[in-house]
Amino acid sequence: MTREEKSQVIQDLTAELANSATIYIADISGLNAGTTSDLRRACFKANIKLAVVKNTLLAKAMEASDKEFGELPTILKGNTSVLYSETGNVPAKLIKNFRKKSDRPILKGAYIEEAIYIGDDQLDTLVDIKSKEELLGEIVGLLQSPAKNVVSALKSSGGKLAGIIKTLSEKEG
């Protein structure tokens, strides 16, 4: 690879890192061609972009990026694949599900909304991360709950109040 080609790859990687809020770094070495194809197909269906990268080029792209990747460049050893996603927990769920049939991919680390996760032991934590949409849904539900209670109380109280007034008016009559 010429110096110009490397420079172009670093620029492309830097742009990809800048455009992605969720970046997973995994090791998929040891997967045969068929299993790798299955992984790529699963990634495509889940709207995850999978790319095998050279460690040195990814490290330089991380360095050139405006984002703070913390300890992530230190894990760039051996076979490295990058998974880019819009949703924080989708790649973790895909990896966990895929490992029911295979011992790979192994999670090296992840960058999610400025948080850094290092090591395969973080996989369960990453699976449990809620997406922005899930969090917004929960917040809306929580906000709606008190309003529903007030409306319900007003309706039932209004009915009781009307009943009391009707009863009182009948007594006077």
Q: What is the pLDDT along the chain (173 residues), one digit of tens a residue?
A: 888 888 888 899 999 988 888 999 999 988 899 999 999 999 999 999 999 999 999 999 999 988 899 888 999 999 999 999 988 889 999 999 999 988 889 999 999 888 899 999 988 888 888 777 777 888 888 787 776 776 666 666 656 666 777 777 777 65
User: What pLDDT score does 156 carry?
Assistant: 66
pLDDT of residue 173: 56
pLDDT at residue number 81:
94
Q: Which CATH superfamily is domain 3-129 in?
A: Ribosomal protein L10, N-terminal RNA-binding domain (3.30.70.1730)
Are residues 98 and 74 in contact, defined by beta-carbon separation less than 8 angstroms?
no
What is the DSSP secondary structure assignment for residue 131, as one 8-state letter?
P
CA-based nearest residue to 49, from 7, 85, 87: 85
Tell whether omega for the bond before 105 is within 30 degrees of 0, i.e. cis. yes
Residue ranges per domain, the chain?
3-129, 131-173
Q: How far apart are CA 100 and CA 151, in angstroms?
A: 48
pTM of the model: 0.75
Q: How much is the pLDDT for 146?
A: 73
CA angle 101–104–110, rounded 5-degree value: 125
